[in-house]
């Protein structure tokens, strides 16, 4: 890595192009717990625009204009928090604006920061504004910020947004719209829904400690961070392993395999045949998903690498979007947080002594069960005891899965092609924090951003069961 840090060239406040007509928005049951979390930091690494007449100054001006236009569509991001005498916190859509920073790292090449098979460089954290800023600070800080950084042969656009204002769904809706406006899209695909007449709207008050909340984990803990890439074929194999006993498939497939090879080994061809035929005969929710299968493998491998006592209880937390789980369903473009955390627990001994299917079934069962009634029970439980969301790994045996491979991260084409890669800043990172991204090639591939204690990361790097599914990604322009 070149011995050069990122240099700030300019900084300004960008205001919405049009005056906001959106009323003040009260933070919901899903927004309030995030006040103790860092702002979300996600960004895209792009090639340099191909024009021989490319000017970074011109790009900066263009991004400022398009950001102003986009904020007119998302006025809450240009507002500030305000707490009323009763204790409720509101987003005041007052057009106060967002920070916009232009920066230079011209000695840094794309090949210096995209390092297949190696740790993610800490330099990425310098491509974002508001490092480690806690969301409660939205009372006096902008609720969003954008930094565009010029590399030797690339451009990084980093977006930072208050986590009490957006979840991942709303974050990427804004980011995608920003890219569309910059690229000259004549029509915006989907407008955000700012209505607050949902089950998440509540009169409950969250009492904030004097001085404001703090993150619930040690942000200075030594960590390693890597991106592990999984192709569609690799994930398909994991899914097959997880589903091979569903609805008696194992017995039927095993009997058929004996006819084919005499030893009962279930080949991929035999298993795929039974899985396809069996789909007609069982409820879709009976099938363990690709992502649940991948998560189960990660859970097993991280637990093994941690060398926990067999009696130790491990927890896998998975954030889920509740918009489609409620009855009636929420608008898919509802702007705000509409997420809940699903914890799945198992002893380290059970997790490692049983097969992948067993681990995946534990995750699958809880995800399927998280229906309208479960969402409402979670809301009622929070209203009876309002509290911040406890991010972290206090017992050394937890994993927290965030983000989603379904988010349209690679749709962020600012006018000269889709991103080379998606990366995050230093926000909300602790031992056991995992973020799921779609793979650049699409087609069901997945990248896992894995943050672990150094000794645990070394363990999964040497875990044959895990690494057999990992591929080295190519970052070709």
- Tell me the C-alpha distance between 299 and 297, whole Å: 5
In the predicted model, residues of the chain with pLDDT beneath 70 are 1-4, 245-284, 476-477
**pLDDT at residue 253, rounded to an integer:** 43
Summarised one tens digit per residue, pLDDT across range 263-303 is 434 454 545 554 555 554 555 578 999 999 999 999 999 99
Residue with tokens 């299968």: 293
Q: 251 lies in a domain?
A: no
Q: 219 lies in a domain?
A: no
The verdict on 240 and 153 lying in the same domain is no
Q: 262 lies in a domain?
A: no
Kindly provide the b/e burial profile for residues 53-76, where b requires at least 16 CB atoms within 10 angstroms of the residue's own CB: eeebeebbebbbebbbbbbbbbbb
Summarised one tens digit per residue, pLDDT across range 231-256 is 999 999 999 999 986 444 443 444 44
Contact 61, 437 (CB under 8 A): no
**pLDDT at residue 3, rounded to an integer:** 57
The verdict on 11 and 71 lying in the same domain is yes
The verdict on 196 and 50 lying in the same domain is yes
The verdict on 63 and 176 lying in the same domain is yes
**pLDDT at residue 26, rounded to an integer:** 98
Q: What is the CATH number of the domain that holds 349?
A: 3.30.559.10
pTM given for the model: 0.92
The verdict on 397 and 303 lying in the same domain is yes
- Tell me the C-alpha distance between 41 and 24, whole Å: 25
Contact 304, 343 (CB under 8 A): no
Q: 342 lies in a domain?
A: yes
- Tell me the C-alpha distance between 327 and 75, whole Å: 28
Q: 319 lies in a domain?
A: yes
Q: How many Cα atoms occupy the beta-carbon half-sphere of 264 within 13 Å?
A: 5
What range does the domain containing 171 cover?
Answer: 7-213
The verdict on 112 and 45 lying in the same domain is yes
Q: 362 lies in a domain?
A: yes
The verdict on 197 and 299 lying in the same domain is no
Number of structural domains (the chain) is 2
The verdict on 198 and 240 lying in the same domain is no
Name the token pair of 281: 């005969």
- Residue 27 C-alpha from the chain's centroid: 21
- Tell me the C-alpha distance between 99 and 80, whole Å: 13
Q: 90 lies in a domain?
A: yes
Q: In what order do the strands lie in the sheet with 40-47?
A: 7-14, 98-105, 144-151, 154-161, 40-47, 421-424
Any alpha helices (H) in 262-289, and if so which ranges?
Answer: 268-278
């Amino acid at each position: 890595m070149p011995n050069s840090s990122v240099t700030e060239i300019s900084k300004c406040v960008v205001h919405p192009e049009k005056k906001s007509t959106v009323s003040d928005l009260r933070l919901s049951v899903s927004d309030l717990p995030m006040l103790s979390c860092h702002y979300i930091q996600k960004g895209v690494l792009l090639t340099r625009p191909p024009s021989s007449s490319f000017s970074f100054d011109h790009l900066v001006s263009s991004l400022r204009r398009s950001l102003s236009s986009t904020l007119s569509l998302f006025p809450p991001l240009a507002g500030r928090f305000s707490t009323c005498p009763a204790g409720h916190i509101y987003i005041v859509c007052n057009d106060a604006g967002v920070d916009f920073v232009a920066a230079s790292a011209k000695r840094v090449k794309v090949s210096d920061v995209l390092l297949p098979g190696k740790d993610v460089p800490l330099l990425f954290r310098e491509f974002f504004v508001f490092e480690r800023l806690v969301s409660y600070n939205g009372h006096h800080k902008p609720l969003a910020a954008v930094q565009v950084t010029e590399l030797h042969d690339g451009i990084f656009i980093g977006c930072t947004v208050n986590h009490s204002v957006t979840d991942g769904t709303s974050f990427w809706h804004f980011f995608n719209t920003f890219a569309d406006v910059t690229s000259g899209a004549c029509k915006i695909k989907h407008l955000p829904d700012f209505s607050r007449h949902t089950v998440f709207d509540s009169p409950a008050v969250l009492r904030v400690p004097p001085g404001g909340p703090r993150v619930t984990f040690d942000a200075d803990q030594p960590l390693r961070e890597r991106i592990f890439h999984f192709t569609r074929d690799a994930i398909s194999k994991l899914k097959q392993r997880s589903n091979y006993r569903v609805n008696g498939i194992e017995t039927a497939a095993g009997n058929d395999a004996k006819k084919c090879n005499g030893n009962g080994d279930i080949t991929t061809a035999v298993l795929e045949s039974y899985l396809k035929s069996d789909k007609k005969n069982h409820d879709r929710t009976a099938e363990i998903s690709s992502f649940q299968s991948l998560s189960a493998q990660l859970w097993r491998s991280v637990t093994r690498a941690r060398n926990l006592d067999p009696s130790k209880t491990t927890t896998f937390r998975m954030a889920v979007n509740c918009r489609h789980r409620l009855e009636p369903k929420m608008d898919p473009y509802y702007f705000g947080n509409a997420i809940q955390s699903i914890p799945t627990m198992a002893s380290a001994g059970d997790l490692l002594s049983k097969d992948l299917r067993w681990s995946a079934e534990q995750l699958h069962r809880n995800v399927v069960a998280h229906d309208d009634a479960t969402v409402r029970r979670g809301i009622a439980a929070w209203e009876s005891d309002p509290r911040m969301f406890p991010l972290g790994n206090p017992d050394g045996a937890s994993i927290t899965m965030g983000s989603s491979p379904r988010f349209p991260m690679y749709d962020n084409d600012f006018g000269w092609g889709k991103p080379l890669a998606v990366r995050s800043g230093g926000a909300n990172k602790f031992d056991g924090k995992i973020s799921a991204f779609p793979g650049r090639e699409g087609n069901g591939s997945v990248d896992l951003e894995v943050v672990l204690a150094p000794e645990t990361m070394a363990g999964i790097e040497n875990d044959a069961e895990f690494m057999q599914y990992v591929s080295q990604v190519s970052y070709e322009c």
